[in-house]
Structure 1
Amino acid sequence: MVSERGLEVLRAIVQDYVDTREPVGSKTIVERHAFGVSAATIRNDMALLEDEELIAAPHTSSGRVPTDKGYRVFVDHLAQLRPLSSAQRSAIAAFLDGSGDLDDVLARSVRALTRLTGQVAIVQYPSFARATVTHVELVQLGGGRMLVIVVTDTGRVSQRLTFVRDEFDEADLARMRAELGTLLVGRPVREGLQRIAERLAATGPDPAAREAATDEIVTAVAEELEEFRQDKLVMAGSANLARREADFRGSIYPLLEAIEEQVTLLRLMGEMVTDEQGLSASIGRENEAFGLAEASVLASDYDATGSRARVGVMGPTRMDYPTNLAAVRAVARYLTRMLEEDESSR
């Protein structure tokens, strides 16, 4: 059983190791922290922490470093979130103010978060399976190119460039817009996809040329709606992994692979459990099932007009947890507020 002073020693070890990247010894703790006891007493506390597998010696006769279990105890019981400075809050506002559609808001959010934390920043798109289509637009660009624009009541605007066999006159475009409006506008994305599938099935295997060209447009819209239903991430700051490679015992390749594939991170973030502050952390070996045993992931929920999603950071286990958790929470709150304001203004 670790004493209260022992837990404070653990806090000191975590803080000093994060600050210096050097193993922490009893003499250093006595010099830097006002415990009012001798180095020998601190060594006894450290021995108990080592017995509990909260700290470990990376080398013989060296100081001690936190283990994954030690970081977990620190995050759960000892870490105190550090309020962001006015400069940091202004930086978030500067990044997000004046942003456009949802894609732009999320891209700006990860750029702000990676600058604040020095970690890989991640934001999850909300699921739009229940969103309602409010507008479908077709813009003919020439050369067989057609721009398909789909807007939903969540504020999401998506665009897809597709190639068609023929050029359309204004009457044909008006007819297709009207048909798509009848199929989709005012209907949830899921229902719209079903109606498109029924429309394409009714066309038959050998449609007339003009009908086939219309089917190409309808298919492009269906592909765009399918994207609305899929979970995906926006990320920034991957280069920070290379800058902090010394903090990883092994290769950073599994993290880079997770960034590229996204599926692993989506599963991991989906399984993380939030605390009473709306924050979640998955540390080191807790991520072993996802191939990320040397990484920590911190996240907070944000609300996108009723659809919950997560924003967070990923980096080595040696990170500034109090500051990073505060930054994640602050960006999540800004995101929620901006999306609520956007919804109320429409």
Structure 2
Amino acid sequence: MSSTEERRFAVLRAIVADYVATQEPVGSRVLVERHNLGVSSATVRNDMAALEEEGYIAQPHTSAGRIPTDKGYRQFVDRIAQVKPLSGPERRAIQSFLETGVDLDDVLRRGVRLLAQLTRQVAVVQYPTLSVSSVRHLEVVALTPARLLLVLITDSGRVDQRIVELGDVIADDELVQLRGLLGGALEGKRLAAASSAVAELAEDAPAHLRDAVIRASTVLVETLVEHPEERLVLGGASNLTRNAADFSAFPGSLRAVLEALEEQVVVLKLLAAAQDAGTVTVRIGEENEAQEMRGTSMVSIGYGSAGTVLGGMGVLGPTRMDYPGTIASVSAVARYVGEVLAGR
């Protein structure tokens, strides 16, 4: 890259930094005063004119300074040479806070709370995708002689409890047989395979257990089927309203974003792009396919362990975002969530 292009990127980087910090259009004189660009005001003005012509910055109104465009943010994000790492105390605090989560639900809730606090944006995390989860253990407990409690535990830490109403009482030895049949069909299998296996159990079940097997299998199959509407945890939605001015250029945008967050489908599609536990994905403004998200940016990453991505997590906010700090926070929290779930 030529020295002129490097200098113009330095100007763009300074405009991004100032606009993110102040939410005010940035002029050439301010850039010279605040940043050690090593050139005159006239050169900065020429560089800003070139950046504007190329679509990296824009003038919101006459006699104003310049603000970054979606294209300008993209150039800035693509050329972030170094993401400021979190400090040792920050990392230890995150790890300690997540490790004290009592179960999967608590760990995920803690994760989004941390991300929302660290970034001052909306944080979202997807529940572990069932298609990549396996059954670790199935416990069958007799609540009464005619009612069972099924406790299904996956390797991602998910715990589901379901009640089975039997048509008749079940003896202790029959309960042991039933537990063995169901556990043998499920444990160690991916959830899709487990669902098929348990659905076929009744065909070969002993006659005296067939009705109990059918009733338990029906409940388990329903449990093993993925319910997308239950797969998202969200925190910090009120942070969007603090940045309401960022959405003023998009009529109805803030309300549309809030409605999309409530419905979850759009956000789940954005998180679906986060399929790599080691790579952060940044979608800026117009890069979002959903019309209601055109005024936002999404920073996301996959979380998991042992090379398996369990789900996606990330941060959503206006395009005027602290990208280096947000990327660092999302990466750190995702890493520790994956480690905590792997250790359970």
Residue 12 (structure 1) shift:
0.6
Distance in 2, matches of 1:107 and 1:256, equals 19
Distance in 1, matches of 2:75 and 2:42, equals 24
Residue 225 (structure 1) aligns with: 224
Residue 45 (structure 2) aligns with: 43
Distance 1:320 1:116, change over 3 A: same
Q: Which amino acid aligns with 2:49?
A: A
Residue 160 (structure 1) aligns with: 161
Residues 201-239 of structure 1, C-alpha deviations (whole Å, 9 max, x = no match) = 789xxx99x965653332221111113899933222222
Q: Secondary structure at the match of 1:84?
A: coil
Distance in 2, matches of 1:157 and 1:7, equals 46
- Structure 1 gaps, min length 5: none
Residue 317 (structure 1) shift:
0.4
| Contact 2:297–2:318 (CA under 8 A) maintained in structure 1 | yes
| Contact 1:125–1:234 (CA under 8 A) maintained in structure 2 | yes
- Structure 2 gaps, min length 5: none
| Contact 2:275–2:312 (CA under 8 A) maintained in structure 1 | no
Residue 56 (structure 1) shift:
0.6
| Contact 1:11–1:78 (CA under 8 A) maintained in structure 2 | no
Residue 241 (structure 1) aligns with: 240
Distance 1:94 1:134, change over 3 A: closer
What is the aligned-residue identity percentage? 44
Distance 1:239 1:138, change over 3 A: farther
Residue 328 (structure 2) aligns with: 326
| Contact 1:302–1:332 (CA under 8 A) maintained in structure 2 | yes
Distance 1:256 1:133, change over 3 A: same
Distance in 2, matches of 1:293 and 1:265, equals 13
| Contact 2:108–2:233 (CA under 8 A) maintained in structure 1 | yes
The reply to whether residue 216 of structure 1 matches residue 215 of structure 2 is yes
Distance in 2, matches of 1:181 and 1:230, equals 28
Distance in 2, matches of 1:90 and 1:57, equals 43
What is the RMSD computed on CA atoms of the aligned residues? 3.2
Q: Which amino acid aligns with 2:287?
A: E
Q: Which amino acid aligns with 2:159?
A: S
Residue 302 (structure 2) aligns with: 301
| Contact 1:126–1:307 (CA under 8 A) maintained in structure 2 | no
Distance 1:91 1:53, change over 3 A: same
| Contact 2:124–2:232 (CA under 8 A) maintained in structure 1 | yes
Normalising to structure 2: TM-score of the pair? 0.84
Distance in 2, matches of 1:85 and 1:194, equals 47
Residues 155-214 of structure 1, C-alpha deviations (whole Å, 9 max, x = no match) = 4242234463668455364454233224323433222211233346789xxx99x96565
- The total of aligned residue pairs comes to 336
| Contact 2:305–2:338 (CA under 8 A) maintained in structure 1 | yes
The reply to whether residue 278 of structure 1 matches residue 284 of structure 2 is no
Distance in 2, matches of 1:34 and 1:53, equals 24
Distance 1:95 1:111, change over 3 A: same
Residue 290 (structure 1) shift:
5.8
Distance in 2, matches of 1:135 and 1:229, equals 23
| Contact 1:184–1:192 (CA under 8 A) maintained in structure 2 | yes
